[in-house]
């Protein structure tokens, strides 16, 4: 069964312009670019709603920031898809991708879970490492992330992914890694309601699992919550996703290493930038890695069909550029499309 989706990259609606160097960019000053992206943001929502009405199965959006040149715009696909979710009932809402190396993992986990709840369980959650220093170095700096150090980038991505999985699947959790200690070991929390709640039986965690109880801090201030040596040991993420154990995850891939990682973690692949001559090898690499890892799957359903398994919604999706011409649209329209693709 063939399923169809739309990949929304958020390009500027300004005309494509030539520069003296021959590089194509959006034809407008910064003021015009700001206005263009405001229009595009509204159009992205409208297109998602229209895609649902036309019967498309998926609507994928990218995450990109800080681009005056015009090719890409989508600073928060999860937030944009909230607006789409509120006005649709069927289409599945994906991200290609949420760039984990630009996020605190708990913030993106919360947003992804919120969208899944609001949409009634229609999220296809995208995870990615990023590739643009202008984005990753700026947004990832507070968390120690980078794209200019590939191994550091991969380590951060893996840890962020692990934290998201914990937050989505465990009633409460802790994490101690290279980039994050959650909650921080110095987090004082002598809150009467927390103590009362976890002192009850059958709430899913015992008090001593969530708090390490200590005496008052003789040097502390007057706030009883922080005037203590009691510290927080675990936290809970609210809400968790509606889909159990969690939404299907996706990763845009270009390298064999990324394909193998996705297969080994039960993650679907978006393929948008790989030549057709290499597609067969990418598919084979994915399925060989999945078989080697005993067919990991969030629902433990075992092996899935080669290519795309529509029943299980598992495998790889290919995003070719498709142009539909209306009657009367000829060479001029094709030239416009070609220039837009060259700018991309």
Sequence ranges of the domains in the chain: 5-180+236-343, 184-233
Condensed to tens digits (0 to 9), the pLDDT of residues 194-253 reads 999 999 999 999 999 999 999 999 887 789 899 999 999 999 999 999 999 999 999 999
The CATH number assigned to the domain with range 5-180+236-343 reads 3.20.20.30
Quick one: average pLDDT of 109-131? 99
Confidence check: pLDDT of 5 > 90: yes
Burial of residue 122 (CB within 10 Å: 0-12, 13-18, 19+) is buried
Whether omega for the bond prior to residue 239 falls within 30 degrees of 0, making it cis, is: yes
Beta-carbon contacts of 107 under 8 Å, excluding residues fewer than 6 positions away, are: none
Query: pLDDT grade, residue 189 (50/70/90)?
Result: very high
pLDDT at 24 over 90: yes
Mean pLDDT of 21-29: 95
Q: What region, left, alpha or beta, does residue 128 occupy, with left being phi > 0 and alpha being psi -120 to 50 degrees?
A: beta
| Rounded Cα–Cα distance for residues 28 and 5 (Å) | 31
pLDDT (tens digit, 9 = 90+) per residue, 31-79? 999 999 999 999 999 999 999 999 999 999 999 999 999 999 999 999 9
Q: pLDDT digit string (tens) for 147-179?
A: 999 999 999 999 999 999 999 999 999 999 999
The pLDDT of residue 254 is 86
3-state DSSP call for residue 120?
coil
Calpha distance 323→242 (Å, rounded): 36
In whole angstroms, give the CA distance from residue 130 to residue 149: 12
Examine the pLDDT at 325 and tell me if it is beyond 80: no
Residue 1: pLDDT over 90: no
- Percent of all residues in the chain with a pLDDT value above 70, rounded to a whole number: 100
Question: What is the pLDDT confidence band of residue 286, given thresholds at 50, 70 and 90?
Answer: very high
Q: What is the mean pLDDT of the chain?
A: 95
Q: What is the DSSP string of 234-297?
A: -B--SSPPSSSS-PPEEEE--SHHHHHHHHHTT-EEEESSS-HHHHHHHHHHHHHHHHHTT---
């Amino acid at each position: 069964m063939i399923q169809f989706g739309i990949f929304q990259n958020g390009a500027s609606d300004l005309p494509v312009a030539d520069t003296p160097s021959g590089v194509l960019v959006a034809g407008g000053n910064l003021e015009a670019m700001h206005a263009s992206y405001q229009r595009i943001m509204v159009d992205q929502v409208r297109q998602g709603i229209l895609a649902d009405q036309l019967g498309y199965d998926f609507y994928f959006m990218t995450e990109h920031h800080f681009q005056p040149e015009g090719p890409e715009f989508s600073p928060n696909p999860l937030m944009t898809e909230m607006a789409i979710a509120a006005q649709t009932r069927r289409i599945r809402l994906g991200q290609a991708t949420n760039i984990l190396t630009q996020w605190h993992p708990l913030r993106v986990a919360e947003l992804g879970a919120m969208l899944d709840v609001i949409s009634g369980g229609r999220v296809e959650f995208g995870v990615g490492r990023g590739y643009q220093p202008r984005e990753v170095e700026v947004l990832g700096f507070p968390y120690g992330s980078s794209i200019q150090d590939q191994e550091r980038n991969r380590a951060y991505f893996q840890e962020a992914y692990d934290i998201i999985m914990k937050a989505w699947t465990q009633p409460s959790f802790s994490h101690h890694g290279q980039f994050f200690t959650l909650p921080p070991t110095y987090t004082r929390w002598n809150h009467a309601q927390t103590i009362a709640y976890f002192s009850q039986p059958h709430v899913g965690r015992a008090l001593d699992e969530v708090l390490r109880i200590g005496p008052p801090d003789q040097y502390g201030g007057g706030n009883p919550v922080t005037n203590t040596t009691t510290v927080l040991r675990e936290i809970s993420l609210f809400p968790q996703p509606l889909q159990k154990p969690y939404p299907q995850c996706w990763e845009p891939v270009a390298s064999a290493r990324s394909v193998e990682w996705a297969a080994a973690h039960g993650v679907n692949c978006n393929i948008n930038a790989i030549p057709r001559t290499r597609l067969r090898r990418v598919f084979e690499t994915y399925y060989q890695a999945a078989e080697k890892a005993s067919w990991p799957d969030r629902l433990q359903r075992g092996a899935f069909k080669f290519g795309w398994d529509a029943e299980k919604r598992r495998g790889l999706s290919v995003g070719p550029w498709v142009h539909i011409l209306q009657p009367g649209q000829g060479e001029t329209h094709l030239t416009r499309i070609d220039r837009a693709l060259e700018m991309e």
